[in-house]
Amino acid sequence: MSEVSTPGATATPAASAALRAVPRSGWHVATVAAARRETPNASRLELEVDGWPGNAAGQHLDVRLTAPDGYTATRSYSIASSGPGTRVTLAVDKLPDGEVSPYLVDEVRAGDMLEVHGPLGAFFVWAPVAETGDARPVQLIAGGSGVVPLFAMAQAHGDADDPVPFRLLYSARTPDDVYFAGELQRLVGASAPFRLDLVYTRRAPEGWRAPAARITRETLEAAVFPAAEQPRVYVCGSTGFVERVADWLVELGHDPRSIRTERYGGT
Amino acid sequence: MSFITRGFSGRSRERDDRLPPGQTLVHDFPVLSAGPTPEVDTAEWEFTIRTESAVHRWNWDEFLALQIDEVDTDIHCVTHWSKLGTSWRGVSLDTLFEQVETEQEYVMAHSYGGYTTNVPLDELLDGKAWVAFEFDGQALEPEHGGPARLLVPHLYFWKSAKWVRGLVMMDQDEPGFWEQNGYHLHGDPWKEERYW
Map out the domains of chain A as residue ranges: 26-120, 129-264
pLDDT computed for residue A260 by the predictor: 97
Considering only CB atoms, A1 lies closest to which of B2, B4, B35, namely B2
Contact across the interface for B3 and A67, Cβ inside 8 Å: no
Decide if pLDDT at A29 tops 60: yes
Q: Decide the pairing of beta strands B24-25 and B81-92.
A: parallel
Contact across the interface for B5 and A5, Cβ inside 8 Å: no
Decide if pLDDT at A97 tops 90: no
Decide if pLDDT at B185 tops 90: yes
Max distance between CA atoms of chain B, in angstroms, equals 61
Considering only CB atoms, B31 lies closest to which of A5, A263, A267, namely A263
A99 in contact with chain B, both atoms CB, cutoff 8 A: yes
Decide if pLDDT at A13 tops 90: no
Higher pLDDT, B41 or B17: B41
Which residue of B4, B6, B8 is the best one to mutate when testing the A interface, meaning the one whose CB has the most A CBs within 10 A? B8
Closest CA of chain B from A87, distance in Å: 20
State mean pLDDT over A200-205.
Answer: 97
Reported as a pLDDT band with limits 50, 70 and 90, residue B16 is confident
A76 in contact with chain B, both atoms CB, cutoff 8 A: yes
Reported as a pLDDT band with limits 50, 70 and 90, residue A23 is low
CATH class, domain A26-120, is: mainly beta
The CATH code for residues B24-29+41-191 is 3.90.420.10
Reported as a pLDDT band with limits 50, 70 and 90, residue B2 is confident
Domain ranges of chain B: 24-29+41-191
Reported as a pLDDT band with limits 50, 70 and 90, residue A193 is very high
Cβ-Cβ pairs closer than 8 A, A with B, add up to 161
pLDDT digits (tens, 9 = 90+) for A124-148: 999 999 999 999 999 999 999 999 9
- Residues of chain B positioned with their CB less than 8 A from the CB of A4: 195-196
Contact across the interface for B195 and A114, Cβ inside 8 Å: no
Q: Which of A102, A6, A120, A100 is nearest to B22 (CA)?
A: A100
Reported as a pLDDT band with limits 50, 70 and 90, residue A266 is very low
Contact across the interface for A6 and B196, Cβ inside 8 Å: yes
Closest CA of chain A from B123, distance in Å: 15
pLDDT digits (tens, 9 = 90+) for B21-72: 999 988 888 888 889 999 999 999 999 999 999 999 999 999 999 999 999 9
pLDDT computed for residue B31 by the predictor: 84
Which residue of A1, A6, A12, A139 is the best one to mutate when testing the B interface, meaning the one whose CB has the most B CBs within 10 A? A12
Contact across the interface for A62 and B181, Cβ inside 8 Å: no
- Could you give phi then psi for residue B131, rounded to 5 degrees? -105, 110
The CATH code for residues A129-264 is 3.40.50.80
Closest CA of chain A from B112, distance in Å: 11
Contact across the interface for B5 and A117, Cβ inside 8 Å: no
Contact across the interface for B11 and A73, Cβ inside 8 Å: yes
SS (H, E, C) chain A: CCCCCCCCCCCCHHHHHHHHCCCCCEEEEEEEEEEEEEECCEEEEEEEECCCCCECECCEEEEEEECCCCCEEEEEEEECCCECCCEEEEEEECCCCCCCHHHHHHHCCCCCEEEEEEEECCCCCECCHHHHCCCCCEEEEEEHHHHHHHHHHHHHHHHCCCCCCEEEEEEECCHHHCCCHHHHHHHHHCCCCEEEEEEECCCCCCCCCCCCCCCCHHHHHHHCCCHHHCCEEEEEEEHHHHHHHHHHHHHCCCCHHHEEEEEECCC
State mean pLDDT over B152-174.
Answer: 97
Closest CA of chain B from A191, distance in Å: 31
pTM: 0.90
Higher pLDDT, B178 or A1: B178
Considering only CB atoms, B182 lies closest to which of A2, A15, A22, namely A22
Contact across the interface for B11 and A67, Cβ inside 8 Å: no
Contact across the interface for A6 and B178, Cβ inside 8 Å: no
Higher pLDDT, B109 or B182: B109
Reported as a pLDDT band with limits 50, 70 and 90, residue A25 is confident
Contact across the interface for B173 and A267, Cβ inside 8 Å: no
Q: Decide the pairing of beta strands B116-120 and B106-111.
A: antiparallel
Q: What stretch of H or E contains B106?
A: strand B106-111
- Residues of chain A positioned with their CB less than 8 A from the CB of B37: 243, 246-247
Q: Which residue of chain A comes nearest to B14, CA vs CA?
A: A71
pLDDT digits (tens, 9 = 90+) for A104-117: 999 999 999 999 99
Reported as a pLDDT band with limits 50, 70 and 90, residue A258 is very high
Decide if pLDDT at A220 tops 50: yes
Considering only CB atoms, A8 lies closest to which of B30, B178, B186, namely B186
Contact across the interface for B185 and A259, Cβ inside 8 Å: no
Contact across the interface for B195 and A5, Cβ inside 8 Å: yes
Reported as a pLDDT band with limits 50, 70 and 90, residue A265 is low
Considering only CB atoms, B80 lies closest to which of A1, A75, A121, namely A75
Closest CA of chain B from A160, distance in Å: 24
Percent of chain A with pLDDT over 70: 90
pLDDT computed for residue A41 by the predictor: 96
Reported as a pLDDT band with limits 50, 70 and 90, residue B13 is low
